[in-house]
Structure 1
Amino acid sequence: MGTIITISILYLLVVFGIGLWAMYQTKNSEDFFIAGKSLGLFVMAMATFATALSGFLFIGGPGLTYDLGMGALWFTFPTSISFAMAWMILGKKMRLLTEATGAMTVADAIYYRYDSNLARGIAGIVCLVGIVLFMSTQVLALGTIISFIFGISNAAGIIIGMGVVAFYSSAGGILAGTYTSAFQGTTMAIGSVLVFGLAMAAGGGMTNISQTIATTTFTGMETAMPEFIGPWGLVGPMVAMSWFFCLGIGIVGQPHVVSRFYMIEDLKKLKWGPVVAAIPAIVGGMLFFGAGLVVRYLVLEGAIEPLANSDDAIIFFVTEYAHPILAGIVLAGVSAAIMSTCDAFINIASAAAVRDIPFSLGKELSDEKQLSYGRVAVVVISIITVITVLSLGDRGIALLGAVGWGTFAAPLSPALGIGLNWKGATKEGAIASMLVGLALSVGLELLSMFDIYHLPHGIYIGALAMVVAIITFIVVSYMTETRELGDGMNAVLEV
């Protein structure tokens, strides 16, 4: 543990260094919110990978595989297409949009596309409320890792982790978070390959792992479960395909992903974006199922006791089977990847608080006030997040998870993904789809959490909400009048 602690401290010092450097590079609100449109292709791709996947992939992923088997891969498969698809559908359009209009947030994009302050305000509220709650889940996971590494309480781990995020977010805005994310994404891509190789070695290869799991009696089941290593695992085709649909297509509604397209420096290199973005996401998936599957194998072999908490799979495996240096890098990288997601979220929430919502109410702040108030908002949102986590704890995980990927996918995917590619889209369609998508995703999650109603066949709520939101968007757009677009927006849609 001494080696792991040393590496973790060095890692955090690097993060602090990046934050200080970015602070001196941040001169105005454009620098603070969209990195001054200065990012290179590699930095952008690695930052997007680290931000979008973070704690779920590196902590929840192995745990999900440990519980559900190969069916968990349907959470990973979308990364082979979703990152590439986001670049192809929105990459160039978002970058040209900020050039033509000065847009700096997702709500800005919706405003300039539909010329509606109401649509902008709804998008800002979706981002602000959803991000604060969803970020709480990330902070709780972050606190768990920090408390394990340093042997402190979960509450102390949460406060320390959020404190680091708040520092480099308030100091350097998205510029600090983006370069930190690129550093973290690169670390985790390399670490994923090493952990996967280690997992295969510990299990005697994929063939041996699969055969053992398929033929060995599961603890408490009194029977073997060969379906565990089948194409659907223990989840079934309906659940798996609804995961694939929402996680694949829904990426165009993730504000922490699409807003980064504003930041690209060289438009000519955009054509390489899909490939560069997809590769680290696929590599990250190797850690996802490799660690989870081999820990299940080790349990069935009697080498270790069954895990009390499946989310401990990756922590247990690297600390027990990896060299301390690799374990330290992976755990520090996982912590940092979660922090990069928190930074992206907190920056977007800050923009919603000091830019999107005030603008929608006709109260435009000066550039200087946006920058200064934005830094204050980062601190305030951080405090609110910590209070939320410490107040709800484990009791709030289901509620916090309700505003995750599916909640952003349902309200925002139609208005952005379709709206920036279809001239027939209307502001009424955008407003209706955002309201329907948000109400369905959050409402159904709450009904499920309180055991009032569950969707049949285990269908993923986010997938259903997104389908209904897309249908609403298209139907209402056809039923309402299309407004004339300006030359700048016409150029964006015709790209």
Structure 2
Amino acid sequence: MNLSSFLILSNQLPSDPTSLVSQYKGMGVTTAIVIVYLLIVLGIGYWATKRTKSSKDFFIAGKQIGPVALALAAFSATLSGWLFVGAPGLIYSIGTGAMWFTMSTAVCYTLLWTILGKRMRLLVEIKDVMTVADAVNERFKSQFASGLAGIATLIGVVLYLATQLLAMGVILSYVFNISVATGVIIGMIVTLLYAIGGGMIAGIYTDVFQGTMMVITSIVIFAIAMSKGGGMLNITNVISTAPALSEGALGLKFVGPFGIVAPIVAMSWFFLLALGIVGQPHLVHKFFMIKDIKRLRHGALLTTVPAIISGLLSFGVGIVVKSKVMSGELAVLVKADDAITVFLLNYTTPVLVGLAFAGIASAIMSTADSFINIAAAAAVRDLPNALGKKLSEKSQLKWGRITSLACGVVSVSLALGLSSGGIALLGAFGYGTFAAALAPTIGMGFNWKRATKEGAISSIAVGLIVGIVLEVAKVLKMGWYMNGLGSLGIYNGLFALSISTIVFIAVSFLTKPAELDKGIEAVMDC
């Protein structure tokens, strides 16, 4: 779940995104702050471009990244704009049950660092690895499995990036009073300028800046939210006793452990996020970059803390806006994703509004730049390698930049050229689909010596197909889905992940494992 999946898949893209801010008197200050933010990002990109001399610099930041920078980059790339817009809107809609998203943070980052962190970094030391597909190839000695992982990554990233860009266009349209289409183009130009020049060095350090902004903004906004709401006791009392929520004790359920959704739905979110994180290529990829492998042990804590802190923003804004609506102080929101904008414009200063909008933009851009880089890597390394062809380092750097530009152009074209229904279909390529396609092969593959290449190939193919089919069926409201799995409340991504995991294990047991490379065996034993 992210900004795009909440904003776009629910078909809530505003027809007039500037309507909420058109009368806001402090918009000049807000706009100036966002402009300064964009200039800082471009400055970081220029600095990074000067340091990018090789394909290793471009794709894995020269293996020179410290643990704090890596943790902030991983956190900001994971949460995306959903933290600022989708999450408050979800809490406003369903209550505290939405916190099962945030509660999974401690588990998912700990799991990611524990079972993959050290192994992925050691792998880079003994093998020529720069991408997740490279890692799959080294583990299973299968160019087909590697190519399939590369294809899944490339297609998923390019299409999913389109929804991120549309979300960016919405945010910039708020700030600059421009059309969404113009906002999409501006956002992509800024992102491409630093992503093409500085590659992953630019991506990491802009993510550090952006992640820091997200944390600071979250702390301040949460404090203001609690103050304006009169404290948690008052907030929960207003909601639980609201006449509008009296039927069926909805008020009490709203502030209960699962909100107004079924427990199975909340738990599906939790387990998908907690387990599926090992299949997110833009996160696994970052382990290749750390400078000192000994400092990886701090990574889980360094990533979890800012993620939990930032989760306070979504909780505070969503629950306070709901209480204000229930008390009659605010009008009922037309769209749930307006919660953050309504809160900022009514209860904060122009400076904080500017910082928050910059934070939202930074959250989206941090995900977009990671996607662009791994898409370029898939195109210039994974696919040629799968075909038995390998580009020189100089060619990889050159074509990596060209492919980054092409990726941006294609994604912008998709974002601007498709109808809302088409964009909604693109949103199917999300967290759950990546988890279903790649998590078993990567997470289990590097921890279970009995795993086979046939198991990996089958799992990637089945996970990708099942994940996409279910999400498309959900978006199109197909009868067989709505009357079947859709009626059970199980999150599609978790179901697809479960199926791909079963396939991975079953096929591995039914096929003969190849003899492990001594280096790979040492990596798995670490």
Taking structure 1 as the reference length, the TM-score comes to 0.98
- State the Cα distance separating 1:336 from its structure 2 match: 1.1
Hey, what's the Cα distance between the residues in 1 that align with 2:427 and 2:314?
19
2:291 is the counterpart of 1:265: yes
Hey, what's the Cα distance between the residues in 1 that align with 2:418 and 2:237?
42
Count of residues in Structure 1 that have an aligned counterpart in Structure 2 = 495
2:436 is the counterpart of 1:410: yes
Aligned to 1:103: 129
Q: 2:422 aligns with which of 377, 396, 402?
A: 396
Hey, what's the Cα distance between the residues in 2 that align with 1:362 and 1:117?
8
2:500 is the counterpart of 1:474: no
The alignment yields a C-alpha RMSD, in angstroms, of: 1.3
Amino acid at match of 1:370: Q
Hey, what's the Cα distance between the residues in 2 that align with 1:240 and 1:446?
21
| 1:279-294 pair list within 5 angstroms | 279-294=305-320
TM-superposition CA deviations, 1:191-216 (whole Å, max 9, x none): 11111111111111111111111110
Aligned-partner SS, 1:423: coil
Instruction: State whether residues 216 and 224 of structure 1, in contact with CA within 8 Å, keep that contact through their aligned partners in structure 2.
Output: no
Aligned to 2:216: 190
Aligned to 1:348: 374
Structure 1: runs of 5 or more not aligned: none
Hey, what's the Cα distance between the residues in 2 that align with 1:365 and 1:315?
47
TM-superposition CA deviations, 1:18-54 (whole Å, max 9, x none): 0001101000100000000000011000010000101
- State the Cα distance separating 1:330 from its structure 2 match: 1.5
Q: 2:79 aligns with which of 43, 47, 53?
A: 53
Hey, what's the Cα distance between the residues in 1 that align with 2:264 and 2:136?
33
- State the Cα distance separating 1:59 from its structure 2 match: 1.3
Hey, what's the Cα distance between the residues in 2 that align with 1:427 and 1:217?
59
- State the Cα distance separating 1:334 from its structure 2 match: 1.3
2:392 is the counterpart of 1:366: yes
Aligned to 2:51: 25
Aligned-partner SS, 1:127: helix
Instruction: State whether residues 217 and 224 of structure 1, in contact with CA within 8 Å, keep that contact through their aligned partners in structure 2.
Output: no
Aligned to 1:337: 363
Hey, what's the Cα distance between the residues in 2 that align with 1:360 and 1:459?
36
Say which is worse superposed, 133-142 or 213-222, in terms of deviation: 213-222
- State the Cα distance separating 1:218 from its structure 2 match: 2.6
Aligned to 2:12: none
Hey, what's the Cα distance between the residues in 2 that align with 1:438 and 1:245?
18
Hey, what's the Cα distance between the residues in 2 that align with 1:118 and 1:134?
24
Aligned to 1:5: 31
**CA 1:55–1:396 in 2, change beyond 3 Å: closer, same or farther?**
farther
Hey, what's the Cα distance between the residues in 2 that align with 1:312 and 1:47?
27
2:162 is the counterpart of 1:162: no
Instruction: State whether residues 245 and 251 of structure 2, in contact with CA within 8 Å, keep that contact through their aligned partners in structure 1.
Output: no
Instruction: State whether residues 441 and 462 of structure 1, in contact with CA within 8 Å, keep that contact through their aligned partners in structure 2.
Output: yes
Amino acid at match of 1:469: S
Amino acid at match of 1:318: L
- State the Cα distance separating 1:379 from its structure 2 match: 0.8
- State the Cα distance separating 1:58 from its structure 2 match: 1.7
**CA 1:341–1:70 in 2, change beyond 3 Å: closer, same or farther?**
same
Hey, what's the Cα distance between the residues in 2 that align with 1:218 and 1:131?
42
| 1:452-467 pair list within 5 angstroms | 452=478, 453-454=481-482, 455=485, 456-467=487-498
2:100 is the counterpart of 1:69: no
Aligned-partner SS, 1:225: helix
Hey, what's the Cα distance between the residues in 2 that align with 1:248 and 1:235?
19
- State the Cα distance separating 1:439 from its structure 2 match: 0.7
| 1:29-178 pair list within 5 angstroms | 29-178=55-204
Taking structure 2 as the reference length, the TM-score comes to 0.92
Structure 2: runs of 5 or more not aligned: 1-26
Hey, what's the Cα distance between the residues in 1 that align with 2:166 and 2:440?
30
Amino acid at match of 2:183: G
**CA 1:464–1:167 in 2, change beyond 3 Å: closer, same or farther?**
same
**What is the percentage of aligned positions where both structures have the same residue?**
50
Q: 2:460 aligns with which of 434, 442, 451?
A: 434
2:230 is the counterpart of 1:204: yes
- State the Cα distance separating 1:222 from its structure 2 match: 10
- State the Cα distance separating 1:393 from its structure 2 match: 4.7
Hey, what's the Cα distance between the residues in 1 that align with 2:178 and 2:236?
38
Q: 2:266 aligns with which of 240, 254, 259?
A: 240
